[in-house]
Amino acid sequence: MRKMKLKRLGIGALILALGNVGYGASVDHIQHYTPEYTANPAQNGAINPGTSAYYNPAGLMQLENGRYFQVGAQGAYGKQKQKNDGKTYEADSFDVIPNIMFVDKTDERAWYFTFGGLAGGAEMEYKNGVPTIGQIPGLIEGAGIPGAGITVGPDSEVRENWAEGSNTYIQATLGRAWFVTEKLSLSAAGRVIHGQRNLDVRAEGTIDGRIPNPIPGRDDIQVNVPISDWMEGERHAWGYGGQFGLNYAATEKLNIGMRYDTRVKMDFRTDSKSMDKDWGAGGINGGILENLYPEYFNKSRRDLPAILAVGTQYRVTDMWAVYTSANYYFNKDADMDREYKGNRTYDNGWEVAVGSEYWLNNKWAWLVGANYADTGANRDSYNDSEFALNSFMLGTGFKYMQNPTTMWTVSIANYWYDSAKGEGSAAYENVTYKKDYITGGISLTKKF
């Protein structure tokens, strides 16, 4: 067990959840706003009644006049693994992500409203704990125990190691699109976001070690020190941002879309509880987890970075269209727990996607697409509660046109994440991080 003070470890600790996963995408952001994205993630240039309000709102002006309503939901099942010193820490999760959309399109303008997830991820429970908690005896060594320092022996242990966390960002966006010319249209919108990040942890064990003898020349004193702590952590914040879009119908076959989502300032406040600190003859009780996870006991900023999104739609034939998309995440310009991490651990992120929509007949269309995401999170940001790994996603699905005004979409996708080791901290450099996810969704789009 390596020596390290609690304060040093606390600098790297963040929410235990999938917030940085986003099932691909960036550190916190997700992009699967609608079930159709799961089948074809290249939607930034699409003219599509089911997705344009989310990915290419300026492109709404290319739709037929009418009112469009959509309701959908996606389910995501995943597994996270962390391996350290021959032990595997594992958690399963299942998450449901709903979405609602409304569009009112006329010759002059289009109003649109969307509601659903914007960032974050599923609730996770590590029933056998996480590596950080397992290392508490060694981390306490030299951390200021009253009376003297302690040298931890090999028989020290953590008997109870349990952690559960969740990370949810909900958004509502209201905007308008309008023509500049028959080929060029613009859009602008405002949005409100609520973010909540929860973390509950329990830890209990024993330090078997020795402390210096106050009498010069005498051997160290053997000690057996109980350790115990728990916390119920909650962070929550409101944020406000803007969204601006441009669509250019270059030819009858080629359409180009662009969207810019502004940075969203998120000032997180805390409402957390923990065990009262009592470091005395009865052992080391409380105060441990508060040092490991300081952001749950102090106000802090964790912004959602700005996004620049571009894409194309090209109609090869009347029955077949192909798509490309790219997103760029301005992580360096966002304050992302700078008090505890510094933005040195985040570079700007990016992702690219391709997709296809092929109509088999006038009722059924087959969708397929792929996405690669580089989150921009460096390996010195990885710890037991945050590891935003790069990923490759492959999805497919079908559209079913029930009648001229009713369309169903079903989709499924698998995410393969890179496996990586942490670095920059003795607590994490020997930990290997891995996760895998599968998602599926269904939506109904209705025109009135």
pLDDT at position 388: 83
Of residues 296, 297, 6, the one with CA closest to residue 145: 6
- In the predicted structure, residue 364 carries a pLDDT above the cut 90: yes
Whether the CB-CB separation of 435 and 21 falls below 8 Å is answered with yes
pLDDT at position 174: 98
Average pLDDT over residues 36-45: 97
- In the predicted structure, residue 21 carries a pLDDT above the cut 70: no
> Which letter does DSSP use for residue 139 in this model?
H
- In the predicted structure, residue 432 carries a pLDDT above the cut 90: no
- In the predicted structure, residue 7 carries a pLDDT above the cut 60: no
What pairing do the DSSP bridges indicate for beta strands 151-152 and 109-126? unpaired
Of residues 108, 193, 207, 112, the one with CA closest to residue 158: 207
What pairing do the DSSP bridges indicate for beta strands 157-179 and 273-274? unpaired
- pLDDT per residue over 73-85, tens digit each? 999 888 888 888 7
pLDDT at position 141: 65
Mean pLDDT of the residues in the chain: 86
Lowest mean pLDDT among 15-24, 156-165, 378-387: 15-24
Instruction: State the number of CA atoms in the 13 A half-sphere of 31 facing the CB.
Output: 33
Pairwise pLDDT comparison (425 vs 257), residue with the higher score: 257
Whether the CB-CB separation of 53 and 101 falls below 8 Å is answered with yes
pLDDT at position 23: 61
Q: CB neighbours of 418 closer than 8 A, spacing ≥ 6?
A: 389, 390, 391
pLDDT at position 148: 45
- pLDDT per residue over 416-429, tens digit each? 998 888 777 666 77
- Alpha helix (H) residue ranges in 220-308: 288-292
Domains of the chain, by residue range, sit at 6-447
- In the predicted structure, residue 24 carries a pLDDT above the cut 70: no
Q: Measured between alpha carbons, how far is 255 from 324 in angstroms, rounded to an integer?
A: 11
- pLDDT per residue over 125-179, tens digit each? 888 888 878 777 777 765 544 434 677 777 788 888 888 888 889 999 999 999 9
Average pLDDT over residues 231-244: 95
- In the predicted structure, residue 261 carries a pLDDT above the cut 90: yes
Q: CB neighbours of 102 closer than 8 A, spacing ≥ 6?
A: 67, 68, 69, 70, 112, 113
pLDDT at position 426: 62
- In the predicted structure, residue 14 carries a pLDDT above the cut 70: no
Q: Where are any strands of DSSP class E within 283-363?
A: 283-285, 300-301, 307-315, 320-329, 349-359
Which fold does the domain 6-447 belong to in CATH?
A: Porin (2.40.160)
Percentage, residues of the chain above pLDDT 90: 54
Whether the CB-CB separation of 52 and 102 falls below 8 Å is answered with no
Find the helix or strand (DSSP H, E) in which 372 lies: strand 364-374
- In the predicted structure, residue 9 carries a pLDDT above the cut 50: no
- pLDDT per residue over 289-315, tens digit each? 888 888 888 888 999 999 999 999 999
- In the predicted structure, residue 322 carries a pLDDT above the cut 80: yes
- In the predicted structure, residue 436 carries a pLDDT above the cut 90: no
- In the predicted structure, residue 71 carries a pLDDT above the cut 70: yes
pLDDT at position 20: 37
* pTM beyond 0.85, yes or no: yes
- In the predicted structure, residue 13 carries a pLDDT above the cut 50: no
